[in-house]
Amino acid sequence: METDRGGTGDPLSATVDAWCDVIDGMDGVLQAFVAGAETTTARRKRVREELRVAHDRWPAGRARPPLFGVPVAVKDIVRVDGLPTRAGSALPPEAFAGGQAVVVDRLRAAGALIAGKTVTAEFAMSAPGPTRNPCAHGHTPGGSSSGSAAAVAAGMVPLAIGTQTLGSMIRPAAYCGVVGFKPTLHRIPMTGVIANAPSFDTLGVFAGDVSMVARASAVLCDSWRPVGDTGQRTLPVLGVPDGPYLEQAGAEALAAFERQVAVLADGGFPVRRVPLFADFARVSDDLFAVNRYEAAQNHAEWFLRYGPLYREQSVATVRQGQAVTRERYEQGLRRRETFRTGLSDATVGVDVWISPAATGPAPRGLAGTGDAVMCLPWSHAGWPSLSLPAGRTPDGLPLGLQCVSRAGSDERLLDRARDIAARIEPAGSGR
């Protein structure tokens, strides 16, 4: 490989130009990247400089880190040195000033290039940004990690960083037809990320396939332990959580899910149907009480100072949180521990829980981000979850299969997901 430190003739430099060309050509319509964060010329110049620095640090002939030269888009609640953070809001960037996020430090230490900031719903709550779904421009890409999911789905970048509080990664991944991975709660340090509700906030990654997700997770997650190759693979036992939770999915999503369950069973995967989440309504109430209370606490000073700049949906979230008593908040936290214990007990004999990743395909319109309900119990537990592309509707909208396993089993989940993806993708991910 030519290595003139990012100059003319370097294949990596040509790649930088190529994906900058893709972003420049597509983002005017999709609006996945934050408008005004930097000009297209400034982006190209900045990333070329990042590439030059990477070449100096890891010259040809030496072992290079796992993400060397990989362009990564970063959700605009994550601080990146040299780029403003606005959290999808009208607040001045100075309100969010601070040191670069640990996740970005790790990306750069692994040789990645920061492609830019991607659109988020305001404060990673529910007020949507302008991003369009690459698969159907009149439909939402989901939220709140809308720009990150869309940037990967459109082929503007191979990897993007998002966050999930309730369903902010799994749902956009399903709507846009990409792989989205939310690790175990706080497995990637949240330092340098604008908080929504710290009891749930989790950093994760979007990519086009499980291999890239695993490659990134290995350098971003704390204490990553690669799964060894034992030679003979045993297919995981899949659990289907029957009951009021699964009934939240729409008819189209449920029908597609049952087809995928049948495909997996025919492919040799043991499938167990387990009655689960009989108290789903109470679990949801506890989750929202904790979420809203923490959101109001985190925004107390900003809301007091900049309240008129908040959008209607964000105002509603803060007001709802202000109405939650400390006693109710602490009750929600206590009951979450009981919920986690019960879920662990129910998981005996199940390796991976599977469910629809969303209630259906991406809804039409950009005024909302869709329903996060299929993610709620897993986010409440803080367990790792993954959305795999799992077919499309007759009119071409993507659907996702959600895969979940115990807290701390991230490595095993991704390893097992390869087998699941290999079986369901031929069924027609549409990619």
* From 13, 75, 314, 379, the catalytic residue: 75
* From 13, 168, 217, 429, the catalytic residue: 168
Judge whether 144 counts as a catalytic residue: yes
Q: In the predicted model, is pLDDT for residue 300 greater than 60?
A: yes
* From 89, 144, 387, 429, the catalytic residue: 144
The whole-number average pLDDT for the span 152-166 is: 98
Output the six-digit token pair for 125. 């709550």
Judge whether 75 counts as a catalytic residue: yes
Judge whether 385 counts as a catalytic residue: no
Per-residue pLDDT of 38-93, as tens digits, reads 999 999 999 999 999 999 999 987 899 999 999 999 999 999 999 999 999 999 99
CB under 8 Å, gap of 24 or more: what pairs does 10-17 form? 10/51, 10/55, 12/51, 12/55, 12/69, 13/48, 13/51, 15/69, 16/44, 16/47, 16/48, 16/51, 16/71, 16/113, 17/44
Report the 10 Å Cβ neighbour count for 1.
Answer: 7
**N- to C-terminal Cα distance for the chain?**
31
Per-residue pLDDT of 367-401, as tens digits, reads 999 999 999 999 999 999 999 999 999 999 999 99
